[in-house]
A and B are shown apart, each in its own frame.
Chain A
Amino acid sequence: DGGITQSPKYLFRKEGQNVTLSCEQNLNHDAMYWYRQDPGQGLRLIYYSQIVNDFQKGDIAEGYSVSREKKESFPLTVTSAQKNPTAFYLCASSISSGMNTEAFFGQGTRLTVV
């Protein structure tokens, strides 16, 4: 089945540690996105990538890093510089970054800093 997979579903991190969230898609989509969602709020864009080996910062990129070495993979690293990393993280992909395309979302990773 084609789709977008995020892992793990739940992740616990100690303060001061970096952690990497996985996002894989087998939809052959060029564009991929990372969003953060806090309780009772909408989604805010962290990073997006329109093509392999290229990515751009979104509205809240500070304290995060990404890579796009393969078309199907767009991992997100939450660094120790992120002051409030506890949140629900969502990855999405779309066939292109054009406006007439729908986005497909993963089931999310809930990160908790302990």
Chain B
Amino acid sequence: DAKTTQPNSMESNEEEPVHLPCNHSTISGTDYIHWYRQLPSQGPEYVIHGLTSNVNNRMASLAIAEDRKSSTLILHRATLRDAAVYYCILNTGNQFYFGTGTSLTVIP
């Protein structure tokens, strides 16, 4: 199974950047790296995904290591609405493998 490893929890001050790390040392050459976030009792929400190059969208940036064994989700200015569990996921083509995620707390 494709696996990812993330810290259980992180804290950030409001309006500061947040870097959420993810290790995926068993990634294969064709696996895409996806990030989703989930609020309590809701379904996960797509954040961003990429293969090799760094990616930017309106929500976040994704920095992928050159060897692809790790990646970092970057929230440029954390807001209280960004408090959620963030999942780093490998998409193997048939399914999305979810780990336990990182619970992000944003401090006002």
Contacts and interface: CB of A to CB of B under 8 A. Distances in A.
A102 B43 contact: no
Nearest to A91: B43
Given A42-B98, A42-B101, A45-B95, A100 B43 contact: no
Contacts of A107: 42-43
A74 to B, nearest CB: 14
Given A35-B98, A42-B87, A42-B98, A90 B93 contact: no
Given A41-B100, A42-B101, A99 B92 contact: yes
B43 A48 contact: no
A56 B94 contact: yes
Contacts of B49: 100, 102
Interface residues of B, number: 26
A29 B51 CA distance: 22
Interface in A37-69: 40-45, 48, 50, 56, 58-59
Contacts of A92: 43-44, 96
B44 A110 contact: no
A106 B44 CA distance: 8
Interface residues of A, number: 29
A48 B97 CA distance: 12
A89 to B, nearest CB: 10
Contact of B95 (A40, A48, A102, A110): A48
B92 A105 contact: no
Interface of A: 33, 35, 40-45, 48, 50, 56, 58-59, 88, 90, 92, 97-108, 110
Given A42-B99, A58-B95, A100-B32, 15 more contacts: A35-B98, A41-B100, A42-B100, A43-B87, A45-B95, A92-B43, A99-B30, A99-B32, A99-B92, A101-B91, A102-B34, A102-B49, A105-B43, A105-B44, A105-B45
Interface of B: 1, 30-32, 34, 36, 41-46, 49, 51, 87, 91-101
